[in-house]
Structure 1
Amino acid sequence: MWKAWYRAGLEEVTATYDLLIRDMPDNRNFLVFTGLEEVLTDLLNWKFTDDDIERLIQAKLIDEEMAQKLKIFKFEGDVLAMKEGSVFFPGEPVMRLTGPLWQLELLYLYIVNAISSNTIFSSKCVRSILVAQGKIVVLPTTRAQGFESGFKCMRSLYIVGGSPSSSQLAFWRKYGLTLPKKILNALTHAFIKSFDSELEAMRSFTHTFSDDEAVILVDTYNFKNGVNNFITVAKELKEKGGKIAMMYIDSGNLVQRSKYARKELDKNGLHDIKILLSGNIEEKMIEKMLKSGAMCDGFLVVTELISSPDAPKLEVVYKLAEIQKGQDIRPVMKLSKGKKSYPAKKQVFRLRDEQGIMVEDVIGLENEKINGQLLLEEFVSNGKLINYLPPLEEIRSYCKKEIDGLPSYLKILRKSKNYPVNYSEALSKLSAETEKKMH
């Protein structure tokens, strides 16, 4: 498309694009914005190699004159965005980019995909946190669609309040996080099956991991025998001054088995040993198990969380809102049925009650005077980062405040009434005026 714009003399036109979600997935009441740091970091370091450029020339997508621009490519625009970890709703711009039209269009697919994948994960993960009643929610990278996808999901889980697997050291290093004091190590079914007996396997494992580090499965063979073997080893270790961190149950009726295991552990004086439940668990199962009295301290969520099967897609769109040629500024919009976009540079205003609970969002024009919190902040100006990109710990704290500020009707798993998102009178008026001029 850039080639056509270039030949039409539009390559130096300044444009403004909005990045937003068109529709709320059926199984969501709100969304959590993540992926901003990834996008900004890549945007400000974007380069085209000689090989990239040569391939574009060979494909006849650019000519030699255009190739020269790519050789010295540097993003020259402005970026406003919601803070990472923000709660948002369909129709609200989460990012607003202004800059050379050709640059913004070249980056379109990358930006849409990066925000889509991250936000799908965070909006899924937060549902388990909401119903877990403060119990830990742990995620490994197992069964992800690749390691990059797995790391993005663990990052999203951390932001919304969960616990990425402490044994995934590459994740903690990649995102600059301080490792937990204790790295938990899980005794797997494979480890148990490699020994002549389950008891021997448990003893061998806790010989290596004896200091509150071991997470031990008890259902490889017979569950009750597994619990008895676990208790035998835990008591032996306790006499030596050691401790097993957790009992791990991942099959059968998890409610009944957790109650049985807790009773047996307490009966044998092992009150401080925690119980972790797993087995294709997702948020609805967590809620149901806790209502049924499951006796556990946490949940290991894997496939159902990392693949987000109940809402695996997000309708992320990137819409041109304004064109500027010299001093001439022209708002633009899309009129397609069911896909209407709104013109001009916009801001999102959030209104809260006296307790800080969200009441209403208003999408208005950039310079309107509307009471409320301004959600879009400037992060990049003229191609330079001018705002603070906080570490994950700060994003996590900010996200918790956002979740705490949700009205109660949005925190439930079933579909609730829609949160009110309205358009300002001035934006509605401009939209009507612009629509009359479109042809």
Structure 2
Amino acid sequence: MAASYFARGMNEPATFELSVRRLPPNRGFLVACGLEDAVAYLDGFAFGDDAIDYLRSLGTFDRAFLDALARLRFTGDVWAAPEGEAVFAQEPILRVTAPLIEGQLVETFLLNAVGFQTMIATKAARIALACGDRAFVDFSGRRDHGADAALKVARASCVGGASATSNVLAGQFYGLDVSGTMAHSYVLAFPDEADAFRAYARDFPEGAVLLIDTYDTVEGARRAAAVANELRAEGVAVRGVRLDSGDLAALAGAVRDVLDAEGCADLRIFASSDLDEYRIAALLAQGAPIHAFGVGTRLGTSADAPSLGAVYKLVDGARGPVMKHSPDKASHPGVKQVYREERNGASLADTIALAGEPGVAGRPLLEQVMASGERLGAPESLALLRDRRAAAVARLPETARRLKADADAYPVRLSPGLATLIEELGR
């Protein structure tokens, strides 16, 4: 497309908007995420010599176009919902105004970065809702769909509410807190389960979590308690035990009884094993005495809603406002802003309006993050993003925060100006 635009001299300013057509099943909201990767990409956007050489080798593009690509840098303006903000279907999450060729070339990366991380941050936020005051850790790295995905999942999970990640590389890249426990292979590498517990606790004397279900979970709890009591005199403080299989609710109760009876009431119980928001909510509803959770496969793949269906559409250009008319895939025309009505600390409704449209009530959601190709401001801290997400989700109505929410649980409407424009273009 870019080559065709170039051949016809079509490079007027154009506006593209990234949005989600409809909320995935059971979702009453989304958590915007991935903006930092998007801005960093646009800030450094360029075709290097290797890229130009490869494109030339395809024999598809003429020299003039390749020379233009070699000089190309992103020069546009970008507006976006801040990371951690709650957003909804049909609302622009990110808006790019740039020369047509620039705006078109960046489509795939922006969809990938924002769409994927928004999907994961939303899943994590739902898990955080299920956990309540209990913590959960991203355990998904070994099950994610690729090494790069594992890094993005770790970051988005922490934006969404995970207290830490087991992905040490993600910790290095993004400054995330890291956390982990032993695996079954560690226990199996020792001739005796108690020997494994003893060695691990001595090597990590300020908070070891012992995996107790390699052989028999209840017996493992007894051995863990014995080791914890034995090592107290050495100044070793075992933090807790982890369950990774079986009937977690029943086993957690039995393990709690064992630990308390053995004088280890201070040891906490951690649980993993194909957990998600639904299973965690069910466990806690049964009164399972579990203090924290490790969530892996179902978080890193957003198992119940593994795709988001984000779209990136041209909404304004040389011809003025434009829209797609397909009945099930129609787009909203024009350069837009989202306004959120809030009262007494609660979010009430959103209005999608034309940018600058007068008389629209509410707080404007999209903020400018790039101007003329230059980023505005430094990257935001993870703590700020996490706090923003927590506050944004807490302001939503209870119906939108349910684990099985209706897609229309939160009101989103069109402004009079946008509704009129849609009607005019639909004639």
Is the aligned partner of 1:341 residue 2:342?
A: no
For 1:384 and 1:275, the matched residues in 2 are separated by 49
- Gap change, CA 1:417 and 1:6, over 3 Å in 2: closer
Gaps of 5+ in 1: none
Equivalent residue for 1:363?
352
TM-score normalised by L of structure 1: 0.93
Deviation string 1:53-75 (CA, Å, 9 cap, x unpaired) is 12223324421111122112210
Equivalent residue for 1:196?
191
Q: Secondary structure at the match of 1:371?
A: coil
Query: Which of residues 377, 388, 397 in structure 1 aligns to 2:387?
Result: 397
Q: Secondary structure at the match of 2:181?
A: strand
For 1:323 and 1:209, the matched residues in 2 are separated by 60
Alignment of 1:213-292 (within 5 A): 214-292=208-286
Counterpart contact for 1:365–1:427, Cα < 8 Å? yes
For 1:423 and 1:246, the matched residues in 2 are separated by 52
Query: Which of residues 275, 298, 302 in structure 1 aligns to 2:292?
Result: 298
Q: Secondary structure at the match of 1:245?
A: strand
- Gap change, CA 1:185 and 1:39, over 3 Å in 2: closer
Counterpart contact for 2:125–2:161, Cα < 8 Å? yes
Deviation string 1:293-325 (CA, Å, 9 cap, x unpaired) is 10010111111111112100111111111113x
For 1:302 and 1:380, the matched residues in 2 are separated by 35
Q: Secondary structure at the match of 2:136?
A: strand
Q: Tell me how far 1:189 sits from its aligned partner.
A: 1.2
- Gap change, CA 1:275 and 1:86, over 3 Å in 2: same
Q: Tell me how far 1:184 sits from its aligned partner.
A: 5.0
Amino acid at match of 1:426: G
Q: Tell me how far 1:388 sits from its aligned partner.
A: 4.5
TM-score normalised by L of structure 2: 0.96
Deviation string 1:137-163 (CA, Å, 9 cap, x unpaired) is 111222111221112111112112212
* Deviates further, 244-253 or 426-435: 426-435
For 1:61 and 1:272, the matched residues in 2 are separated by 68
Amino acid at match of 2:64: E
Gaps of 5+ in 2: none
Alignment of 1:367-382 (within 5 A): 367-369=356-358, 370-382=360-372
Query: Which of residues 415, 418, 421 in structure 2 aligns to 1:424?
Result: 415
For 1:50 and 1:170, the matched residues in 2 are separated by 29
- Gap change, CA 1:110 and 1:210, over 3 Å in 2: same
Q: Tell me how far 1:259 sits from its aligned partner.
A: 0.9
Query: Which of residues 399, 411, 419 in structure 2 aligns to 1:409?
Result: 399
Amino acid at match of 1:199: A
Counterpart contact for 1:331–1:344, Cα < 8 Å? yes
Deviation string 1:317-342 (CA, Å, 9 cap, x unpaired) is 11111113xxxx61111111111112
Alignment of 1:12-411 (within 5 A): 12-140=11-139, 141-165=141-165, 168-177=167-176, 179=177, 184-212=179-207, 214-324=208-318, 330-353=320-343, 355-369=344-358, 370-411=360-401
Q: Tell me how far 1:286 sits from its aligned partner.
A: 0.4
* Deviates further, 201-210 or 300-309: 201-210
Counterpart contact for 2:212–2:224, Cα < 8 Å? yes
Deviation string 1:364-401 (CA, Å, 9 cap, x unpaired) is 11002311010011111111112443111111111111
* Deviates further, 200-209 or 276-285: 200-209
For 2:3 and 2:372, the matched residues in 1 are separated by 24
For 2:378 and 2:235, the matched residues in 1 are separated by 47
Q: Tell me how far 1:241 sits from its aligned partner.
A: 2.2
For 2:337 and 2:239, the matched residues in 1 are separated by 49
For 1:62 and 1:27, the matched residues in 2 are separated by 46
For 1:359 and 1:55, the matched residues in 2 are separated by 52
For 1:240 and 1:389, the matched residues in 2 are separated by 44
Amino acid at match of 1:336: S
For 2:149 and 2:374, the matched residues in 1 are separated by 28
Amino acid at match of 1:9: G
Aligned residues: percent identity?
32
Counterpart contact for 2:128–2:162, Cα < 8 Å? yes
Aligned length: 424
Q: Secondary structure at the match of 1:367?
A: coil
Amino acid at match of 2:352: I
